[in-house]
Chains A and B, each alone.
Chain A
Amino acid sequence: MSYSSLPEDVLEHVFSFVQSDKDRNVISLVCKSWYEIERWCRRRIFVGNCYAVSPRMAIRRFPEVRSVELKGKPHFADFNLVPEGWGGYVYPWIRAMAGGYPWLEELKLKRMVVTDESLELIAKSLKNFKVLVLSSCEGFSTHGLAAIAADCKNLKELDLWESDVEDPSGNWLSKFPDTCTSLVSLNIACLGSEVSFSALERLVVRCPNLRTLRLNRAVPLEKLAHLLRQAPQLVELGTGTYSADLRPDIFSNLAGAFSGCKELKSLSGFWDVVPAYLPAVYSVCSGLTTLNLSYATIQSPDLIKLVSQCPKLQCLWVLDYIEDSGLEALAATCKDLRELRVFPSEPFGDEPNVSLTEQGLVLVSEGCPKLESVLYFCRRMSNDALVTIAKNRPSMIRFRLCIIDPQTPDYLTLEPLDVGFGAIVQHCKDLRRLSLSGLLTDRVFEYIGTYAKKLEMLSVAFAGESDLGLHHVLSGCDSLRKLEIMDCPFGDKALLANAAKLETMRSLWMSSCSVSFEACKLLGQKMPRLNVEVIDESGPPDSRPELPVKKLYIYRTVTGRRIDMPGFVWNVGEDSALRLS
């Protein structure tokens, strides 16, 4: 009996064990009948660029989907490089899904513009809606949230991770009906204004399955103990403001409440932290696997005291106040550490304000055998340090280094950091994500093109000398999906020579580089399955063709030019001459 003659429901059952999108895609290519069976039983789709496919096409191919994940704006939108109004609107998707996926349960959006209208449509049309994750989104207010709270009877998860929410005063939390007891996860950390504490408390009390609660800054420390006592089953907690007058009764109440939370594995929040209150969490430290102190402006000694009590820590986000000495303590204590992010406390200062150097990262790379994901802001680096890190941790998967001053050379030799990053890509054969900084010539790109065969995402700024640099990356990085470049001398030649490569990638962003408008037009005409979008807020780019385009965003799509482009975005495809401005 051949595999192709297995009954459909058997195949469908087998396929149900395959969750990964990549594998599902491969299955669907085996033969026509597998394609058909697979598409009817796919339950979850991920669309990395919401403009790569139309909602109608997605729904038509996969009619029984229960979970949709969409991403909108390019990553550099996080750093204010994408002007307001660029796009990424979720409404067309929601309108389509309201009809096409009436049983949709989950919607996860990143960097998209979500309106109250969209949220109201979800609440009204999707009767089995359970999970809403809005990560770095904007465009909505607590009115929209009120609709979700009021009408989504089976809501399990509401996560507003770092979204920009307008907060007209309105008591949206109390719109959760008394019958709502299904909440498992609530993240309102990004909300600017106060929420009704009593509504929050009542909600927490009636949801026995609540495991994640991330409060916003407006929730005072004095009230935290009270909440914790109502929800000792919490696994993940984000505190509100972690500051109060120094009073022993507040402290002992808080410490007592924390000690009752035996399941706590993740802590975050800690805004305005008063160090005297930190010992209140000591009782949960031994079980912590995730600690986000990236808003906690406390100094190294207090950080060391805290971190030294967390031997099971797997993920630490922290400010550079931790300093090299704190990272040394981390390396000594947290042998299970997988991810470290060190953010700058004063990114726009002229001088270093803390004693955090490349040494800290080297120490962690030495002491933490499972370290695989790094985001590190610092002010100096050396090739030696990078080579050491690479040799220590060949299993590194994500390595993002930001040396704050652009084009900073190796501080010991004053040479470019090509060799150091070269070592990273050479030793870390599974590296999937890399962000470069410091003084870099075309050589680093030669290393990357030669060795970084598994690299999927590369971020570059103020680096390279010529088109050769870009050419090395586009021609050598076999797994490249996302490339984002700012302020590099890369121009037309490399882009046009590697046009075909761009169709194998999700997207390419180039800003303040040396690409001409002519080249963009050529590319757009040559590659009909790419959208070549030029962003220029000062006027039509063809009115000054002698200047390089300011911002360029190229992405593959099966759906042609998008219809929601604002006036400052030009699609320079085939029919660009016909486009009315």
Chain B
Amino acid sequence: MAFERDLNLEATELRLGLPGTQESRSNKRSLPDMNIVDDQGHRSGSSRVISNASDATKSEEETTPPSKTQVVGWPPIRSYRKNSLQAKKSEAEASGIYVKVSMDGAPYLRKIHLNIYNDYPELLKALEDMFKFKVGEYSESEGYNGSEFVPTYEDKDGDWMLVGDVPWEMFITSCKRLRVMKGSEARGLGCAV
């Protein structure tokens, strides 16, 4: 919203480090410009507003952007089925270590429970099976070598990190989502800051 820009919230935002510097932490190998990339090519919107038409008069006017408010009765799924699925979902999400996994180029997301894996090799094997790719050799200084696929994750602070950089226990408590990067973006990884 406009007034936020006026207030210059950025200047007053609490963060570590001296004013005028970007956030920096040693031991973190942060990745370039993750926020700008839209990694899921989502279909552009439809020509009619989808909303519960109980208040609006039915019209063909376009409003931008088309909102995705949930419509009663759509999708046509019986409450019996919805309740069964919902119960499962809440169960999984309540445990807190349920993260989305995406891979560049794949038109779908997955979700996994991080706590069913015991260490990085298990997790990486699972990712390899899920998306049918192979990671390269990992080394602390150089990251992943020998493959155009690089597993990365977004941590609690919103930074994108290389999978494997922090101890496993720290990883599973700070990982919010996973992304397997591919190709040139992966090559943009620098060494530790």
Contacts and interface: CB of A to CB of B under 8 A. Distances in A.
A439 B77 CA distance: 20
B58 A514 contact: yes
Contacts of A162: 78, 80
Given A297-B88, A487-B53, A512-B58, A79 B73 contact: yes
Interface in A316-354: 343-348, 350-354
Contacts of A355: 106-108
A439 B109 contact: no
Interface in A521-552: 538, 547-548, 550
Interface stretch (B39-47, B159-167, B180-188): B39-47
Interface residues of A, number: 53
A9 interface: no
A548 B73 contact: no
B74 interface: yes
A547 B55 CA distance: 9
B72 A80 contact: yes
Interface residues on B, range: 35 or more
A81 B48 contact: no
B81 A343 contact: yes
A107 to B, nearest CB: 21
Interface stretch (A18-26, A229-237, A403-411, A560-568): A403-411
Nearest to B44: A414
Interface of A is mostly: loop
A462 B42 contact: no
A150 to B, nearest CB: 27
A489 B58 contact: yes
B16 to A, nearest CB: 33
Contact of A548 (B43, B50, B58, B78): B58
Contacts of B109: 351-353
Interface string B57-91: 11010000000101111111111111011001100
Nearest to A439: B46
A407 B75 contact: no
A536 to B, nearest CB: 9
A517 to B, nearest CB: 14
Residue in A79, A350, A355, A548 whose Cβ sees the most chain B Cβ within 10 Å: A79
A408 B58 CA distance: 19
B81 A294 contact: yes
Contacts of B107: 352, 355, 357
Contacts of B48: 407, 462
A404 B73 contact: no
A406 B111 contact: no
B110 A353 contact: yes
B54 interface: yes
A404 B75 contact: yes
B108 A489 contact: no
A79 B46 contact: no
Contact of A512 (B47, B53, B80): B53
Nearest to A271: B84
A460 to B, nearest CB: 11
Contacts of B68: 350
Contact of B74 (A79, A297, A547, A550): A79
A79 B88 contact: no
Contacts of B71: 406, 487
Given A79-B74, A404-B75, 6 more contacts: A79-B72, A136-B78, A297-B88, A347-B85, A348-B70, A407-B48
Which A-B residue pairs are the 4 nearest by beta carbons?
A512-B53, A407-B46, A79-B73, A81-B73
Interface of B: 40, 42-43, 46-48, 50, 52-54, 57-58, 60, 68, 70-82, 84-85, 88-89, 106-111
24 contacts: A76-B73, A79-B72, A79-B78, A136-B80, A162-B78, A295-B84, A345-B85, A350-B68, A352-B108, A353-B109, A353-B111, A355-B107, A357-B107, A406-B46, A408-B43, A439-B46, A459-B76, A487-B74, A489-B58, A512-B52, A512-B53, A512-B54, A538-B54, A548-B58
